[in-house]
Structure 1
Amino acid sequence: MDLHKELKHWFGYSEFRMGQKDIIESLLKGQDVLAMLPTGTGKSICYQLPGFLSNGLTIVVSPLLSLMQDQVQELKSNGLKQIAALNSMVSNEERQFVLNHLHDYRLLYLSPEMLQSEYVLSKLKQTKVSFFIVDEAHCISHWGKSFRTDYRKLAPVRRALANPPCLAITATATEVVRDDIREQLQLNNVQSYIYSVDRPTIALDIKETSSNSTKLKELNEYVRSLEGPGLIYFQTRKWAEAASSYLQQQGHANVSYYHGGMVHEDRLLIQQQFMKDQLDLICCTSAFGMGVNKSNIRYVIHFQPPLDLESFLQEIGRAGRDGENSLSLLLYSAEDRQMAKTMIKKDLLDKSQLIHILSALSTGGKLTYAEEKLIYLPVNCSDTAYSVLRYQLEMENYVIRDQWQSFDVQTVYPKIEKALTEYGQVLEQRLNKIWEWIESNSCKRQQILRYFDEIMQSRPDACCSYCGLDRLELTNSKVHNQQASSFEWVDHLNYVFLKGHQQ
């Protein structure tokens, strides 16, 4: 099989990017694969092409609804129709139609939670599954960022589907996380393709400020001078909205905000406007960006530091996918660290919360998800904290799906409390690592690579704030851009007709 010819046929590309061909060849040989490719280097091709080349169904486990919808829509807009997604946004009628016609599809995107449905699994078992893909595979590890408990239940699902070849793919995973992925997915004779997390065209700028109010004033100047499009990340929804309003008041018209608390239709509209260059700048939380394939984002600003280095790399990786110079600017002040600790604490349970929830669950019986929420929400337990607790109880076999077994709280509490304490320590360790990086007096790029068990092979000219850089020179100031040659209609037509073929 001529893979280059197939790549051209299905996607219109003439050449594979780094790692893609090796990963695809291993999958087609029936091997399990663990792959780590930097954000923006075309991870989706690694499973989409094998999916279209197989004579069965390729299951893609994806953590975000927006990620699924974007990939499905992009493929369909390029004329590839044998694709579907099953998630909470799909109507019951459409879901039933897809499940009744699985033989007509080549790629099926599902959330890990959807795969816990006995009915969905029973339907999938009736069709041939060629490949089992776990996208954003770092979610499987409690040592990694964005831990999702249902990701750790995927190995039994794969076994139930006759153990098809598995690809676990991510952009950021330390060696500890990669080992956990292999173990949790029970990958056999796994082929590993691990590439550097470094994005040498993204300069790393870090700037200390005295307060958040000072940050806002500086943010206004940065946005006024930097050429977009750009993203500004905030730790809270309230900050994203407030900063968007402030920038609009300062005369920046094409600015909006995006976060997970918005209704889906509003989020989709903002995303589409940004993709079509109707918006230049998005003030957002971490809910924005995963799967957003906009090639010309010139800068990513963090108004507050993320909670770990993995999140930081994921988010700055949205910049410069066209290979041009881009800027990552992280602002921080002394108050940010305490804010981060508060955010971590919000997703942990204290003794009274834990005993209250365990007592309510200990009587056993069948509980719906809505009924469980009535147990943990009144004691200010977050959805994340409860999902981690529920996972620990599942591992002890006190709950199977929605059926609870009765248990003695005094017996169960010490073991569960120990597991949750260890989980909290992991979160604190990751937070400490990113602050050590922020406050250190050495090359920022070199330190990130060391965190991911890498050695820096070469230093780019525009490396980081420690090594020295000029942020305006990196992205071109708006003044310089306005003096450049006028907008060419040929370039616009190329963008309109070719943007669907951006990996």
Structure 2
Amino acid sequence: MAAPAGDNVQLTDGEERAISSYFGFDCLYDHQRKVISDTLLSKDVFLSTKTSSGKSLCYQSIPVVYQHRQLPVIVLVISPLLSIMEEQVHLLRAMGFTATVIGKDPKENNDIKTGKYSFLYTNPETVLKDDEWREVLMTEVYRKTVRLIVVDEAHTVTQWGTSSTEEVFREWFGRLGELRSLLPGIPMLAITATATNINRRKIKQKLCMMNSIDYTESPDRNNISLFVSEIPHAKPLEEVFGWLVTAAKQNSCPRTVVFCKSIGDTAKVYGMFVRELAGCHREIVNMYHSCTLPNIKEKIRANMNDIDGSLQILICTNAAGMGVDFKGVQSVVNYGPPQELDTLIQQLGRAGRDGSQSLHILFYKNNK
């Protein structure tokens, strides 16, 4: 099936000016201009650039282009976590776009099915496993109006959707290539801040992106100083994090995110800080993981998105490591290395997003 009418026309100077005006900046970065142009030419694109490089704008700008062309548009965004979707929808609505999460509010279902939203966020389970929404994607409205499929946090395709040794965490991530048969001819944009060459090939294979154009850069961040420290097996947590506890008690603690490998470790580290900071310092620390109640997650994200928020130390799993833009984070600590190098790079990239000099520490245990 051919791409919808109006595609296969590259980005014009007038459309670039319209994007710049809408989002309030002088001009596009070079990689943004190329990615937008390539997707408008119905080409698949794999974008792997460092955090804070403006990756999201590459798809957020698509409705501006099609509005400029006076054509209907839907951008379908596949995202791994509801918290990411809700944050993005809130941002896009504030900018005047129509955006929602598929299936979150049944009252919106009819408007979704008739193509009333420019941005639709969802997860693989909703659009592939649920027959109702799978059939919606095959309707004439969607095949004529969807201009771009976006796979955000694309490293989850292989990290969550495949496994050679154990049960797959979320198998439908590994089956996202099925979207190509539901929406034939529609270009796909895969986005991640971290993907090794091997993982990039695996992701593209799963997404059926055999002839994609790749834009990649080193994830190196010159403003983040990296340190690795071995922890003796029996060393108490109070000693491991003593420097951070002391800084917190002295009201000189930089905003810090501590990533743990499991919910159990998160609870142990959080419990230690609560004990050590009993009293007036208690409000500066919290924990965040997949089992945290949704209303608590929202309060934590709102606080961390405020440069003047009270939270200074967040103990968390990787549930807080993707698609977030916590403000003022100057230190990131990994209490144990994650299984994937891509995950480590993703997590340490939470630091210094404003360009300020920042710190990353990786703690590891030698069990010998």
Q: TM-score range by the shorter chain?
A: 0.7 to 0.9
Residue aligning to 1:257: 287
Q: Is the 8 A contact 1:138 1:147 kept in 2?
A: no
Match of 2:138 among 125, 131, 139: 125
- Quick one: distance in 1 between partners of 2:318 and 2:51? 15
Summarize the alignment of residues 280-299 of structure 1 with structure 2, pairs less than 5 Å apart: 280-299=312-331
Q: Is the 8 A contact 1:18 1:41 kept in 2?
A: no
Residue aligning to 1:242: 268
- Quick one: distance in 2 between partners of 1:315 and 1:98? 37
Residue aligning to 1:419: none
Matched, 1:140 2:140: no
Gaps of 5+ in 2: 1-11, 67-71
- Quick one: distance in 2 between partners of 1:170 and 1:68? 15
Matched, 1:74 2:88: no
Match of 2:101 among 76, 85, 99: 85
More helix per residue: 1 or 2? 1
Q: How many Å apart are 1:298 and its aligned residue? A: 0.4
Match of 1:217 among 232, 239, 255: 239
Residue aligning to 1:474: none
Q: How many Å apart are 1:21 and its aligned residue? A: 1.9
Match of 1:315 among 331, 337, 347: 347
Q: Is the 8 A contact 1:112 1:151 kept in 2?
A: yes
Q: Is the 8 A contact 2:102 2:112 kept in 1?
A: no
Match of 2:75 among 54, 58, 77: 58
- Quick one: distance in 1 between partners of 2:354 and 2:121? 27
Compared CA separation, residues 211 and 165, structure 1 to 2 (3 A): same
Q: How many Å apart are 1:184 and its aligned residue? A: 2.2
Compared CA separation, residues 243 and 184, structure 1 to 2 (3 A): closer
295-304 vs 48-57, which moves further: 48-57
299-308 vs 213-222, which moves further: 213-222
Residue aligning to 2:189: 167
Return the letter of the residue paired with 2:226: L
SS in 2 for 1:113: helix
Return the letter of the residue paired with 1:12: G
Gaps of 5+ in 1: 338-503
Q: Is the 8 A contact 2:244 2:253 kept in 1?
A: no
Residue aligning to 1:156: 178
Q: How many Å apart are 1:218 and its aligned residue? A: 3.3
- Quick one: distance in 1 between partners of 2:270 and 2:169? 29
Q: How many Å apart are 1:328 and its aligned residue? A: 0.6
Q: How many Å apart are 1:247 and its aligned residue? A: 1.8
When the two chains are superposed, the root-mean-square deviation of aligned CA atoms in Å is 2.3
Q: How many Å apart are 1:93 and its aligned residue? A: 3.1
Compared CA separation, residues 108 and 282, structure 1 to 2 (3 A): same
Match of 1:204 among 223, 226, 230: 226
Q: Is the 8 A contact 1:40 1:318 kept in 2?
A: no
Matched, 1:233 2:259: yes
Matched, 1:99 2:112: yes
Return the letter of the residue paired with 2:181: R
- Quick one: distance in 2 between partners of 1:289 and 1:139? 12
Residue aligning to 2:303: 273
TM-score where L is the length of structure 1: 0.61
Summarize the alignment of residues 387-402 of structure 1 with structure 2, pairs less than 5 Å apart: none
SS in 2 for 1:301: strand
- Quick one: distance in 1 between partners of 2:169 and 2:33? 29
SS in 2 for 1:34: strand
Compared CA separation, residues 293 and 210, structure 1 to 2 (3 A): same
TM-score where L is the length of structure 2: 0.82
- Quick one: distance in 1 between partners of 2:106 and 2:188? 29
Return the letter of the residue paired with 2:291: G
- Quick one: distance in 1 between partners of 2:25 and 2:286? 34
Residue aligning to 1:300: 332
Matched, 1:330 2:362: yes
Q: Percent identity?
A: 28
Q: Is the 8 A contact 1:84 1:98 kept in 2?
A: no
Larger radius of gyration between Structure 1 and Structure 2: 1
SS in 2 for 1:193: strand
Q: How many Å apart are 1:278 and its aligned residue? A: 2.5
- Quick one: distance in 2 between partners of 1:224 and 1:4? 50
Q: Is the 8 A contact 1:232 1:303 kept in 2?
A: yes
- Quick one: distance in 2 between partners of 1:181 and 1:242? 35
Compared CA separation, residues 211 and 119, structure 1 to 2 (3 A): same
- Quick one: distance in 2 between partners of 1:223 and 1:242? 15
Return the letter of the residue paired with 1:75: L
Q: Is the 8 A contact 2:150 2:190 kept in 1?
A: yes
- Number of positions where the alignment pairs a residue of Structure 1 with one of Structure 2: 330
- Quick one: distance in 2 between partners of 1:198 and 1:231? 19
